[in-house]
Structures are given as structure tokens and as C-alpha cells.
Structure 1
């Protein structure tokens, strides 16, 4: 399950966006809470909700972007609209918005059930609802509601990662980073963080003793090459470069169909020079050159960075939720497009800590594509590890 705090705005256009979904039978208004007399009136117009939110927000002239717009999404149909409604209300309470006026809308036009929440950041007392470390707290509150024990989850993830065949520490790190963790190297351990919180560590000796045990499955490698050869002529292999990372139709297909996850390696937003492949089906990690040279597999398009997308990928997204996250990002873009006559939307990051956002630098960057990871015949430990230690940053882009 994921939670995403959407773009800030000085107006409440998210009300029209969500009620528009309802009008098109793509959504359902589940709850109108704390709107006073409006809750007793039939046939309330969207503008009535906007007027009420503006009236509450007018008690403070210092808050420039009062709209609070959030999406909470489950994987597929794991949670019903009723369950999502209950989770969303508890989440609002945990984030300090329980007493605020807000709308709760269920969206049913994507592969993943999800709800949207629209409220105001201005409290009844005229003060701003705390947004301190907001994006980090968003996941902590959701984890508490869902009863997630992060330490137990990490223990399970470490056990699973150690069961893979890998040849370098860097490859082991990728296995955790694709699940939203960041790792920092110390003298004897990797310290492990998630959502800005330290949750555990692993001794380097545990990793190092697994490296010599790696056995290449030549039959499987041959099979993967055959898969690449067969489908690269069917699916578009062109790489699109956005500030969310690299993507391609071909890579998406391999991820969904065969559990082959490609991680592209690039620098400063330029076309990738290599990749690493994670074979989740057989629990093995390969340098891309062991399977197929990047130039023989993919076509790189010119830089197509969409500068309108400033939202970083959240650090807490689980691998299984990446399709889910993509839907939310797409909806976010849809909302912006539906408001292209309104210049009030603001993409400027808040002052909170945004550990997932990476400013351009000379440091090498590894762009992550959901569920498929590939690298050319390059020593990822020697090159990627060295640069990451220099900057103390994670290998993959996170959301």
C-alpha cells in the first residue's frame, strides 16, 4: 500500500478534479466530513465545498498553499472501498487532520483501488497543520494503521536477499534498494534506513561469505537471452529519460511477465551506459553484459525529461507497489492537465527533509525502472560503489 501527498495549490481545484471523476462514473464520493451545515444539504455543488474550504483557510493569510490533497492506494483489489475508507480516516486522524473538513473519494478507473482526500492545511484556530517531515510521517502512520512491523519486514527482506545469487556487495545492495531501503557503509556493517528512519543493519561478513557461493546458471542465462531476443522485436525498446528515471515498454513487459527487473546505470541524466538484471524468478543477479550488451538490446531516445514532474519517487515504495505508484503519478499529471488554465499549482518542494530527492551533480546516478534491472559489462562494485561512498547516496532513484 502506498500514500502520496500530491502537488500543492493555492486554490482547491482538487475538489473539481475528484468530483469530475464522480460525474464520469469513475469515482464515488464516500465521505464528506466536518463541513458543518453543508452535510445536511442535498445537491451540494463542488463550488460549495470549495467555498467552505476557502472560508476556513481565510483565517490565515500566511499560508500560501492551503490545499491538502492525498492519494492512498492498495495493490490491485486487496482492499475494498470500505476498507480503504476506514484506513484513510484513521490516516487523517494520525496526521492531525481528523478535525478538518475533508472529502473522501474512491477512484475505480485504474487497476489498483485507491482513494483521494482533499482538505485544507489551515486549522480551525488559524494555524497551519504541522507538515514537519510530512512525507516520512505519512508512511509511518500508514504502517501503524496496517500493523506493519518494519523490523520484522526488514528481517524477512534480508533473509530473502541473502538467498539470491550475487557476485558483489553492490548487487546485494540493489536487492534492498529496489524495495525502498537505503544503505550506508561503515567499517563492518551496512546500516539500513527506510522512510528516513534507521531500522537495522547487516554485518559485511554475512554478505561477503555469500559471494563465493555464487553459481552461474548457464541454462537460465541462455533462456533469458532467448527471451530478450524474442520480445525485443515485439515491444518498443526505446528508453525514455524522465526525472523519475529510465523506462521502456520492453522492460515493463519483462518485469510483469517474467519477473526480470532491469536497473539502468547512467550519469547526469545522460543515456544509460549499462544495466544490472535481477532475476526474481530464479533469485539471481547478473551484470547486463553477462546476458546481452545494452547496445544490442535497447534503443536510447534523446533526453525527454519532463520538467513538469518535480515530485520525487517516495523512498518507502515497495517493489510490489510500483505499478500502483505509476498510476498515482499518472493521475497527478491528469489532474494538472485538467487545470492547465490555473497557474496556482506550485511544484516547489517544501522545507521538509526529502531524502529521496537527488540534485544533479557529477556523481554517478543509477536510474531504477520497476521490476527489471540490467547492467552492461561493467564492474558495478568498483565503479558504482566507489562513487556512492563518495557522496553517501543510494544507488537507485526513489519515490
Structure 2
């Protein structure tokens, strides 16, 4: 089980996000805990107002919203009653058991999960402390509950299982999925959980899920007014949906909101820098030849290597997205040896070493073959019919270079087009 806790300033926004899922038929509200009425007897407005009224007991608390997701392995299919019991126990363990909260079960992802919505303000107006709640309370609770209920342990599964799935451009293009809903799902998963320090770094992350954030041209009105839109892109990076204004999303997706996270994210990601460097360096030491192969190896380790190319296709930068720590770094931020140029050079050196190793192996095999042939030639018990004349001896003593040259220029190594015999041109008959 993986527990993800997000705090925010908009109870209404988080509430509408879950309710929109219910209306679209991809979620259900399972229970309303510590409400004065049963779930079936309340309207949508009543469910929201309970949380808003509670938050109003302390207007000084700005980040009064807590939005939690409990995620399970794909093979775990739990009953609604079990999910209710699990959610209640988890909330008790992290100190929110007496708070009013709503429990939603979502069906729009590749793994089972539930969302819990509550507020940090108690009945008496006192704010519940949430600083380091993940490390101090949530992690111990999660581990104990995994053992108690026999749940799949988070450590036993790669965290990719709990990453959002990339948007399928074809599905959106043909109108089967709402563009806004698809983008909103991605933003909910990444905006507050990943540590990025620029819009370019955020876009490197969004690109993995076929989404991009655009400011427009520098001389455009939108750019000058610090506007931002989101669009769905295809594998080539070309937009396939109409732009949607950042203000249309409830996830605090405006440019000013994103920029406000940069400084805090930069501080938080520093402690994960060494881990990323060690992993990348370890993969480079495996003599991997080619940056694309390196990217494939790193992906298995939980790091996406996003390559930045110019219009001619040349790589001029790399961005490392470490899903293990949810930290994003430009290659040069990790050190000069991890810049695009340095990584390309190390991959080139690995390629040269690999080629040298292959040639060395060929040389050794050919030398062994020559030695064996010489021994057979000088063996007095050899069949006389095989002979040891000048022609046979010359063949036996061919050098490595000659043998390699013979292979290089054999007909099997010629391109098909060069092996074609030239067609004879037909002479045009002259009609008298």
C-alpha cells in the first residue's frame, strides 16, 4: 500500500475533483464519516458545506485541506467494506479519526485506490499539525497495516505501479476521453508531489504523460500577462487538443502557483541529488553504448532520462526525473560529469571500448584457428591426400588482416543493390 498525502488551500477544488469523477461514472463516494447525517440523506452541497464550515472555525489557517490517496497493487481487489475499515483505521492512526471526512473509490487508473478528503481544522478551531506527518505518522501506520492485513508492501513493488498512466492521444483525439479530465488527472498526480524548479523541468515531467504547459510566444499577450495553458501532445510532441487555461483546473496550476513552488522544491530535492548521481554513474560504468540504451537501463532503476534536442535532432540537454524520490534535475545540476555533453562522451567511450573488445575477441579466435591449422598441417599422421603444398600452406598461414579483409569483401557483405547485375537497355526498333 502506498499512501500519498497532499495539503492544499482549496477544499472546494478537491471536493469538486472527486465529485466530477462520480458524475462521470469513474468513482463512488463510499462514506461520509463524522457527519451529522447518513451519506444517502445528504446532497452534494451538504457534504461540501460540512467541511467548509469546519475550516471557517479558524480562518487564519490557509492550508486547511488534506487530500489523501491510498493506493494498492493491481492484483489487490478489495471489497468496499474492507476499504471503509482500512480508511477509518488509517485516519485514526494519523490523528484525523475524529475529523469529518469523505471517502471515494476511483476506477480510472491501472491500480485500485481510494481518495480521502478532510480538513486540518478541528471542532474547537485548533489546527492539526501536519508537518512531517508522512514520515512521523503515515509511514509507520502504512507498514503496520500492511502486516496486519497482509497487503502488498510498497517496498516489494516498483513505485512505477503507482505512477499515473500517460494519456493515450488517440483516445483523446477521437473524443472518447475529455481532454480537461485527462489533463486534470495528471496534474493532480504530479504538481504537488514532484520537486521541479522551472517550467522547463515541469514540462519534461509532463511530457512523459503526453501533456505540455505553454506560455505562448514572448511577444504574445498571454506571455506578458503570465498566462499559461495546458494541452495534450502526441509522441512527436505536437499538440492534438485545444489549449485549456490553467485557471480552469482546481489544482493550483497557474504560472504564479507553479513558480511559488520552485524555491521550496529546490531545497527539498538537494537531499536526493547524491542518490541520483550514484545511480546514473553506476549505469554508465556498465559500459552501456549509446545514450538511448543508457536511458533504457536508467528507466529500470526508476529514473527517466529526458533528452532535449534542437530542430536538427542534436541532443543539447538532458533532464533526469527520479521517480523514486520524485526529484527532477537538469544533468548539469548534478555536476559537470552529468551534463549532456559529458554523458554523450562517456557513452561514446563505452562504444569505442565495446568495439575494441569485439575486435580483440575476433583476433583471438582467428589466431587460435591459425594455430590449430598449423598444427594440423605439420602433423605427419595427416591424410596425405590433404597435401601440404604451397597452396594449402599459403591458405593456412593467412594473416588476421587478410582473413578479415576476405570477410569484409565477400559477396555476402555487399548491399543488395550493389550485387544486382546491370540491366541491358533495350534497343528501340526503328520503324520505317
TM bucket (normalised to shorter chain) is 0.3 to 0.5
Q: Which has the higher contact order (CA 8 A, sep 6+)?
A: 1
Bigger helix share: 2
TM-score, normalization by structure 2: 0.40
